[in-house]
A = this chain, B = another copy of it.
Amino acid sequence: MNAPSSTAQLQPEAHQRAVPAALIEALKARFGERCSTALAVREQHGRDESAYTTVPPPAAVVFAEGTAEVAEAVRLASQHAVPVIPYGVGSSLEGHLLAIEGGISVDVSRMNKILSVNAEDLTVTVQPGVTRKQLNDEIKSTGLFFPIDPGADASLGGMCATRASGTNAVRYGTMRENVLALEVVTASGEVIRTGTRAKKSSAGYDLTRLFVGSEGTLGVMTEITLKLYPLPEAISAAVCSFPSIEAAVRTTIQIIQMGVPIARVELIDANTVRAVNAHSKLSLREEAMLLMEFHGSPAGVQEQAETVQEIAAEFGGQAFEWASTPEERTRLWNARHMAYFAGLQSRPGCRAITTDACVPISQLATAVVESVAEVEASGIPYFMVGHVGDGNFHMGYLIDPDSASERAQAEQLNHQLVQRALRLGGTCTGEHGVGLHKMGFLVDEAGVGAVEMMRTIKRALDPQNIMNPGKIFSL
């Protein structure tokens, strides 16, 4: 493990490549008003939900309406060796959308059609601008659902790009497990397909999973085939308060080790409960809390719930409250999904530096308890939420964006937290991606040789380095 290097990327320096006027003219000629150079549009596309200060925005934004248009935009950019940054809804937390080397943004949010639902096969094919909520709304009548739910109502293209997960991953897996096939525009503007609708395959290199998690650096995804799941016959959700974060974490560990097929098990700390209560007008008990959900047959759900209540009781869990109507459940999970924004609002004007470590479940209590002790000692306001069934937790350090010292302090806390997670056999990022922020951590985690292999693949597939350059690793 090397010396800290992540803080070097904290304020990404702009190494802007020239965007020739000829490219802008060609894009305007092809796309008309759907190629915008308006400052407001460019600025909106040059930032995301991360805590980065702005770098110069992209030189133009192309609103693509289909695969052929994405391919044309990429081919034009390729002719001029100009960077292309794919854009969905802008919910990245890691600076993925910043035009740190200049270039153009290709906005796929208008590619928001569900192309085909194969209910009998439990699959759906969508365009990349479809958001997770839109997908579930539109397939409601089929009796199926798509479980992956990052906090934001992210686009499915963005979720593929970051290998996203969320609260249901403990049972249903992440985007890694739930993408069957892709259509991709490569860095040269060619259109290829990866995978089929078959549930499994041994047909050559797993290009699907090479693109899932590639953060826009290898191409633009233009069609995505996903697994769906039958809506469970019975669903039951509950909250349970614990005397300490550690007690909640130990309860989770035991649930997982016993093989209970729990659908969701989320930890929020007392700070977050307070913020969520204020934001969503709830009256949850302001202690560390697990939010849980059980899916299955009525008898199966009851059995799981009983097992979990027994485990929780051993660790001092109390006030098990059940949300059994769909409305109560929706309210509860919306509150959970608003935790990030509720946390932000708890310190007006702040920005959050968000950690994303994920560790083997046996190490989770150590990882969480030591990290909480450190932030408590620092005095930096924070909140903590966790997809703890997967060993993944987020600390949000709430900093004054104008305070260099708070920022440095938060980065130091993040650094210590990540190095701890790596020592414990974990990863620096469970679901947000590397982006700009974790490039140093990636080297610490994967080693120089593995990162060099990633670079070799990138150079081979994108020799001009035009696809979202400067993310994941520097070239």
Q: Which of A451-471 contact B (CB under 8 A)?
A: 451, 453-454, 456-457, 459-461
Q: Is A169 an interface residue (CB 8 A)?
A: yes
Tell me which of A82-90, A280-288, A358-366 binds B.
Answer: A358-366
Q: Is A155 an interface residue (CB 8 A)?
A: no
Q: Which of A211-262 contact B (CB under 8 A)?
A: 212-214, 229-230, 232, 253, 256-259
A389 to chain B, nearest CB (A): 9
Where chain A touches its partner, the secondary structure class is: mixed
A394 to chain B, nearest CB (A): 13
Q: Is A348 an interface residue (CB 8 A)?
A: no
Is B121 a contact of A360 with CB atoms below 8 Å? Answer: yes
Q: Which of A97-152 contact B (CB under 8 A)?
A: 118, 120-123
Is A257 a contact of B122 with CB atoms below 8 Å? Answer: yes
CA distance A445 to B203 in the complex (A): 8
Q: Is A52 an interface residue (CB 8 A)?
A: no
Among B173, B204, B460, the residue within 8 A (CB) of A451 is: B204
CA distance A173 to B177 in the complex (A): 9
Q: Is A68 an interface residue (CB 8 A)?
A: no
Q: How many copies does the complex hold?
A: 2
Which one of A196, A213, A392, A456 has the highest number of Cβ atoms from chain B below 10 Å of its Cβ? A196
A466 to chain B, nearest CB (A): 16
Q: Is A299 an interface residue (CB 8 A)?
A: yes
Tell me which of A10-18, A73-81, A187-195, A405-413 binds B.
Answer: A187-195
Tell me which of A43-51, A267-275, A313-321, A424-432 binds B.
Answer: A424-432
Q: How many residues of A contact B (CB 8 A)?
A: 90
A430 to chain B, nearest CB (A): 5
A213 to chain B, nearest CB (A): 5
**Closest residue to A359 on the B side, CB-wise?**
B198
Among B198, B201, B257, B427, the residue within 8 A (CB) of A201 is: B427
CA distance A120 to B364 in the complex (A): 11
A335 to chain B, nearest CB (A): 24
Is B472 a contact of A204 with CB atoms below 8 Å? Answer: yes
Q: Is A57 an interface residue (CB 8 A)?
A: no
Seen from chain A, the residues whose Cβ lies within 8 Å of a Cβ on chain B are: 118, 120-123, 162-165, 169, 173-174, 176-177, 186, 190-194, 196-207, 209-210, 212-214, 229-230, 232, 253, 256-259, 296-297, 299-300, 303, 356, 358-363, 390-392, 421-422, 425-434, 438, 441-442, 445-447, 449-451, 453-454, 456-457, 459-461, 472-473
Which 9 A-B pairs give the minimum distances between C-beta atoms?
A460-B460, A230-B259, A120-B362, A201-B427, A209-B209, A192-B449, A121-B360, A197-B425, A198-B358
